[in-house]
Chains A and B, each alone.
Chain A
Amino acid sequence: EVQLVESGGGLVQPGGSLRLSCADSGLTFSSYWMSWVRQAPGKGLEWVANIKQDGSEKYYVDSLKGRFTISRDNAKNSLYLQMNSLRAEDTAVYFCARKDIYFDFWGQGTLVTVSS
């Protein structure tokens, strides 16, 4: 069965960088689009980015373009999110999710806190 486990969250200062990882223990990672979705404390879900099976297509929410980069390594069954120039408003739990036309499997999330 698909099991997604995020890592890499933590406390970072404004302007800093962080790289999140998501490991998939299943056997079908390379067959699916993958996504990052975040949730600020006490707020709703916000889609961040999608990446195609082979990494050839990537899409981002407009507000994050240029600061965040999604990538994947199918040989390692892993998804990544490189986050640069972090701001206080990027504080959130970041979930990775497998995407069909819906998000059918989600990780438990990793908390990113941007604060001085």
Chain B
Amino acid sequence: SYDLTQPLSVSVALGQTATVTCGGKNIGRKNVHWYQQKPGQAPVLVIYTDNNRPSGIPERFSGSNSGNTATLTISRAQAGDEADYYCHVWDSNTEVFGGGTKLTVL
């Protein structure tokens, strides 16, 4: 089975740039999607297919994917960005989620 590895937690100062990584074997060859989940709420898609933003997602959210690492970047971090973030890929008729990263905005 395919595994995705995310750091358990990431901290960022208010207004600075946060990066959340998602590691997987040759993940650069796959389409990676990112979700934001706040406590008690359903996940929300924030980046799809590596680096595309759905309608309504701020430009501060961006993504990249190469080699064995995909990255979600949040520029000018705001208090409202504090949440859990999950990466997601499809592999051999299964959906795979990373373990999730808790983003703390200091």
Q: What range describes how many residues of B lie at the interface?
A: 20 to 34
A102 touches B96 (CB 8 A): no
| Min CB–CB distance A96 → chain B (angstroms) | 10
* Interface residues of chain B: helix, strand, loop or mixed (majority): strand
Contact of A107 among B37, B42, B99 (CB under 8 A): B42
**A interface, over-half SS:** strand
Cross-chain contact A47 with B45 (CB below 8 angstroms): no
Q: For the complex, is B78 an interface residue (Cβ under 8 Å from A)? A: no
User: When the two chains form the complex, which single residue of B35, B42, B94, B99 contacts A47, counting CB atoms closer than 8 Å?
Assistant: B94
Q: Mark B68-106, 1 if CB is under 8 A from A, else 0.
A: 000000000000000010101010011111111000000
The reply to whether B90 and A101 contact each other, CB–CB distance below 8 Å, is: yes
* B49 in the interface (beta carbon within 8 A): yes
Contact A59 B93 (CB under 8 A): yes
B contact residues around A35 at 8 Å (CB)? 95
Return the contact of A102 from the options B33, B37, B99 (Cβ within 8 A).
B33
